[in-house]
Amino acid sequence: MDLEKKILEIGGAKLLTQKSKVDGIRLHINLANDEITKAEVAKAKAEKDSVKLNGSIEANTTALEEVDAELEDLNVQLQELVQYVTELQTKVEAAQSAAENSKEDLENLKAELDTKNEEIQAFRQHEVKLYPTWMPRSHFPSPFSRWNSSSC
């Protein structure tokens, strides 16, 4: 201890000042080293994250290309279905029109049949007046004999 006292007496104040400066510089160096370490750790993490993100970007780009191709296929199918539905609607409209025409034709045929039935009824009434009921029909010539199947 005597040596320390002597050293302190000779240049103690100057030594304490230098020691304080050295301790301050060491503190700054330690703080700087801690910051450097933190920065290096952050840099390494950022590089790992960058690699992960680049891989994710590549995977998502590939997935996007696949989805785009699938979307294009779906759009083609959609166009085909739209065309099919349009053709089907045209056919349905044509069938409905044909059904309406057939209905009209059927109504016309029924009206014509009714008219013919009325004519036949009138003819039969006339026939009854011409031919007495007590005589068998076989004795009278048929008005339709000329259209017999044997003559055809």
pLDDT tens readout for residues 61-112: 999 999 999 999 999 999 999 999 999 999 999 999 989 889 998 999 999 9
In a domain, 122, yes or no: yes
Could you list the residue range(s) of the whole structural domain that residue 65 is in? 14-130
Q: Which helix (H) or strand (E) holds 140?
A: none
Helix, strand, coil percentages in the chain from 3-state DSSP, rounded to 5: 90, 0, 10
The pTM score is 0.43
In a domain, 88, yes or no: yes
In a domain, 143, yes or no: no
In a domain, 61, yes or no: yes
In a domain, 58, yes or no: yes
Gap between the Cα atoms of 41 and 34, Å rounded: 11
Contact predicate 135/141, CB 8 Å: no
In a domain, 139, yes or no: no
Contact predicate 140/131, CB 8 Å: yes
Count structural domains, the chain. 1
